[in-house]
Structure 1
Amino acid sequence: MKIVYPIIISKTDDKNIPYFVKIPDIDGITQGKDVDDAIQMACDYIGLNIIDKQDNNLDVSKSNYVLPTSKDCNIVTLVDVDIDEYRRKNDFKTIKKTLTIPNYLNKLEKENNINFSELLTTALKKELLV
C-alpha cells in the first residue's frame, strides 16, 4: 500500500532544527535540520502514523494529491510512503511462534548456546531476500 500526502515545510528561527513540517491530512507536525531531513522526518511520521492506525483497526486517510495553498515562502510538496516497505524496515515487534524440531537438535542448541529465534530470523531474511 502506497500513500501520498501533501506536506508544508516552513523555515523557523531555530538554529538547531530550522525546518518545521506540517502534514495536514493526518494532523501531524515534525521538524528537520534541512529540507531533505524535513521530508524524511515527514515520511517517518506518516509511516509510523499509518502503521499505528492499521494495528489499532482505525481508519487511514486516503491519499491526497492536492497541494494546499500557502501565502508565505513555504515549500509545499507531496510525499509518498510505501507502507508495506516501511513496516518491513521498522516493525520490530516480536511474536511468539511454535515450531517442531528433532530432540537431538534441541540438545545441541542448548549445548552450543544457539539462539533459535535469532537463527530462524536470519535464515528467513536470507530466504525471503529482505
Structure 2
Amino acid sequence: MKQVERYFYPAVFSYAPDQEIAVTFPDLDVATSGTDDTDALLSARELLGCVLCGLEEDGEDIPAPTPLADVKLEDGERAVLVDVYMPSVRLARVNRSVNRTVTLPAWLNAAALERNVNFSQVLQDALRTQLHLG
C-alpha cells in the first residue's frame, strides 16, 4: 500500500486572555498548545505528525479529516488547516536515538572521560565498522 505523503487536518485554535493558545484536533481527539500563533502551529504540526505516524505504524485506520468549513467553533476559536509532510516524520522516527547501557572497566571509563571521549559517537562508529555499514 502506498503511504500518504502529506496529510491535512483541521485544528481548533482557542484563545483566552493570559493563557497559551490551546490547539485541538477534533478528528484525532488530541491536543497541544503554543505561546503564540507560530508556536501553536509548530506544536500542532509536530503532534499531527506523531499521531499519524503512530497510527500508520500500528496499522490502524486513519480517520478522514473534517472539511475546514464544517468545523464547529465557539467564541474565541478559529479553525486552522494544519499539514504535515510525512516522509520527514517517518525518517526522523527511523533515525531517533535509543539509550543503551554498556559496561566498561573503570580504568577505561576514567581514561575516556579524561580525554573527553564522546561515548555515543565511539559506539556508533564501532557498530558501523563491526556491521560493515560504512
Shorter chain as normaliser: what TM range? 0.5 to 0.7
Contact 2:68 2:79 in 1 (8 A): no
Name segments (4+ residues, structure 1) moved above 6 Å: none
Is residue 7 from structure 1 mapped to residue 26 from structure 2 by the alignment?
Answer: no
Residue 43 of structure 1 corresponds to: 45
Residue 88 of structure 1 corresponds to: 91
Is residue 117 from structure 1 mapped to residue 119 from structure 2 by the alignment?
Answer: no
Determine helix, strand or coil for the equivalent of 1:59: coil
Structure 1, residues 57-87: CA drift from partner, whole Å, max 9, x if none? 1111234443314231323110111112211
Is residue 73 from structure 1 mapped to residue 76 from structure 2 by the alignment?
Answer: yes
Q: 1:115 to 1:14 in 2, by over 3 A?
A: farther
Percent sequence identity over aligned pairs: 23
Contact 1:65 1:78 in 2 (8 A): no
**TM-score (norm. length: structure 1):** 0.65
Structure 1 unmatched ranges of 5 or more: 95-111, 124-130
**TM-score (norm. length: structure 2):** 0.63
| Equivalent residue letter for 1:117 | R
1:56, distance to aligned residue in structure 2 (A): 1.1
Is residue 27 from structure 1 mapped to residue 63 from structure 2 by the alignment?
Answer: no
| Equivalent residue letter for 1:70 | L
